[in-house]
Structure 1
Amino acid sequence: MIIEKLDTFGGHRDSVYALERGPQPEQFFSTGGDGMVVRWQLDRPDLGELVARVPASVYALALHPTSGLLWVGQNYEGLHLIDPAQKQEVASLKLTSAAIFDIKFYRNDAFAALADGVVAVIDTELLVVRKHLKASDQSARCIAVNPVERELAVGYSDNSVRIFDLVSYDLKRVIPAHTNSVFTVVYSPDFRFLLTAGRDAHLKVWDAENQYVLSQDVVAHMFAINHLVYNPEGNLLATASMDKSIKIWDAETFRLLKVVDRARHAGHGTSINRLLWTAYDNQLLSASDDRTISVWKLS
């Protein structure tokens, strides 16, 4: 496998915490500590465009698949819904005075993971809170949706992953998954497995079809794993870490294929917070505390 660094996107004035796909394959959005939401073009690296600015850090950014609105989770203020085409806020919801760490959609529901341990279930059409899922006193950090089993997986700062029913919202299972905070959860493309990782630097694989028994436990990084993503084909997996490296894994065997770091590939010099594996030429994006976004091509 050959890894090539194609571009670096700069312009943010603080750490970049969130990346999200755009409405077109070559577009993506970024935001972070400076509260700026920026739209970028992968085919025009010089073309960064400010879509919105909020007066606090943003950890969570999600593009609603049908309305095309950007959901921006602003610290201490709640949700802002931005029309990226018009660069205008069309609605907002004073959801919480806590931080919002993740936003995911399923049908007419939006799920927001909050720093006070609540997962807020929001009606995306009426923009009202349907339900508060309170299963921990510690932060809800990350969310994954399994439409096949109709389950919602949530990772918490109390080291656990909790599985909720997507329809009834009932708590179905508590997995004592890690020895420290869980920062990232994702279902495999076939929804057979749930992958979890976090501050303990372990990548764990759980059998979602067999009562979430532990299938693999990989000591994947030196320091915390902040995010993990699959490539569009579903045969590769990437992990991003506080140890300043990205690692590429075989998605079936979880064998390490490549390490992308500063020494070998002119990678990031500080913690890598977020990844986005685009359908545009299979390019992998990484966002960092160094205020930049790098674009990687794997061949």
Structure 2
Amino acid sequence: MHVHKVDTFAGHRDCVYTLDAGASPTDFFSAGADGLVVRWQLNKPDLGTLLARIPASVYALAFDADRQQLWVGQNYDGIHLIDPLEKREVRSAQITAAAIFDIKLIDDSAWIALSDGIVVVMDRTNFVVRKHLKAADKSARCIAINPVSREVAVGHSDNHIRIFDLDTFALKRVFLAHANSIFTVQYSPDGRFLLSAGRDAHFKVWSVADQYAPHTDVAAHLFAINHLCYSPDGALFATCSMDKSIKVWDADSFRLLKVIDRARHAGHGTSVNKLLWSSYHQQLISASDDRLIAVWEIVR
């Protein structure tokens, strides 16, 4: 496997916390501690377009490709919808006074994870709250949706994963998953496995068909794993960590294939917070506390 650093996008004034894909494979969005929401193009390096200045940190973005709107979770002030083309706010809803850690869109719903432990389900068409799911006292940190099993996995700061029914919102399962807070959950593209990771620096694999029985447990990093994501073809996945590294894994064997760090590839100098794997030349995008966004070309 060969890794080539394609470019570095600079422009944020503080830690970059979140990324999401845009309308085309070359487009993506970023936001972070500076409250700046920026649109980037992979084929036009470092020519970012400022979409909004949010007066608080932003941990969560989600692009609604159907409506061409960007959902922005403004901490302590709720949800804002931005039109990326016109660079204006379309709607807003102060659904919470808590921090917003994650937003996932599916069908006509938006699932939103909050720091008070609540998961809010909103109607995307009418932009109203459909349901409050209060299943934990500690923060809901991350959400993953399995369209195959019609389930939603939520990772909490009480070290548990909770599985909800996507259609009825019923709580189906609760299990102790990690030794500390869970920062990221992700279903495999075929829906067979749920992957989870967090502060304990392990990633774990759970068998969906076998009632989420443990499948694999890997001590993957030195410090907390902030995020993991799959490659567009589903053959690989990547993890990123507070230990400043990105690691690339085989999706079938869960075997480590490559370490991307400062010493080997001029990687990030501080915590790597978020990953986004684009179908544009299979480029992997990483965001860090060092205020930079790096773009990597991964060739097997």
> What's the TM-score once normalised by structure 2's chain length?
0.99
- 2:23 is matched by which residue type in structure 1? P
Residue identity in the other structure for 1:197? A
CA distance in 2, matches of 1:147, 1:236: 20
> CA offsets, 1:14-46, max 9 Å, x none?
100001111111111110001101111111113
User: Which residue is 1:46 aligned to?
Assistant: 46
Report 1:141-220 matches (<5 A): 141-220=141-220
- Which residue in the other structure is 1:74 paired with? 74
Which amino acid in structure 2 is aligned with residue 293 of structure 1?
I
Partner SS state of residue 136, structure 2: coil
Matched, 1:298 2:298: yes
**Aligned-pair CA distance for 1:52:** 1.1
Give unmatched runs, 5+ long, in structure 2.
none
C-alpha distance in structure 1 between counterparts of 2:73 and 2:5, whole Å: 30
Write out aligned runs for 1:206-285 (5 A): 206-285=206-285
Q: CA deviation at 1:173?
A: 0.3
Q: Deviations over 1:40-82 (max 9, x none)?
A: 1111113111011110000000001311100000011000000
Amino acid at match of 1:228: L
3-state SS of 1:238 partner: strand
Q: Match of 1:47, SS?
A: coil
In the alignment, the residues of structure 2 paired with residue 289 and residue 78 of structure 1 have an alpha-carbon distance, to the nearest angstrom, of 23
- In structure 2, distance between residues paired with 1:106 and 1:2: 34
Give the number of equivalent residue pairs. 299
Q: Provide the residue aligned with 1:123 in structure 2.
A: 123
Backbone CA RMSD of aligned residues: 0.6
Q: What is the DSSP-based 3-state SS (H/G/I as helix, E as strand, rest coil) of the residue aligned with 2:263?
A: helix
Matching residue of 1:13: 13
Code of the residue aligned with 1:2 in structure 2: it is H
SS in 1 for 2:68: coil
Letter in 2 for 1:121: V
8 A Cα contact 2:101 2:141, kept in partner: yes
Amino acid at match of 1:170: A
AA aligned to 1:123 is D
d(CA) in 2 for partners of 1:257, 1:181: 26
User: Which runs of 5 or more structure 1 residues have no equivalent in the other structure?
Assistant: none
Cα distance in 2 between the residues matched to 1:72 and 1:279? 23
1:106-162 CA distances to partner (integer Å, 9 max, x unpaired)?
A: 211100000000000101111111110000000000000011111000000000000
Equivalent position SS for 1:79:
strand
| Aligned partners of 2:195 and 2:203 also within 8 Å | yes
Aligned to 2:101: 101
How far apart are residue 238 of structure 1 and its match? 0.2
> Could you report, residue by residue, the CA deviation over 1:86-106 in whole angstroms, capped at 9, with x for unpaired residues?
001000010111000000012
**Residue equivalent to 2:288:** 288
Alignment partner of 1:46: what SS?
coil
Q: In structure 2, how many angstroms separate the alpha carbons of the residues matched to 1:175 and 1:44?
A: 45
SS in structure 2 opposite 1:190? coil
Distance in 2, Cα, partners of 1:149 & 1:129: 24
1:82 counterpart letter in structure 2? I
Greater than 2 Å deviation, 4+ residue runs: none
State the SS of the aligned residue for 1:180: coil
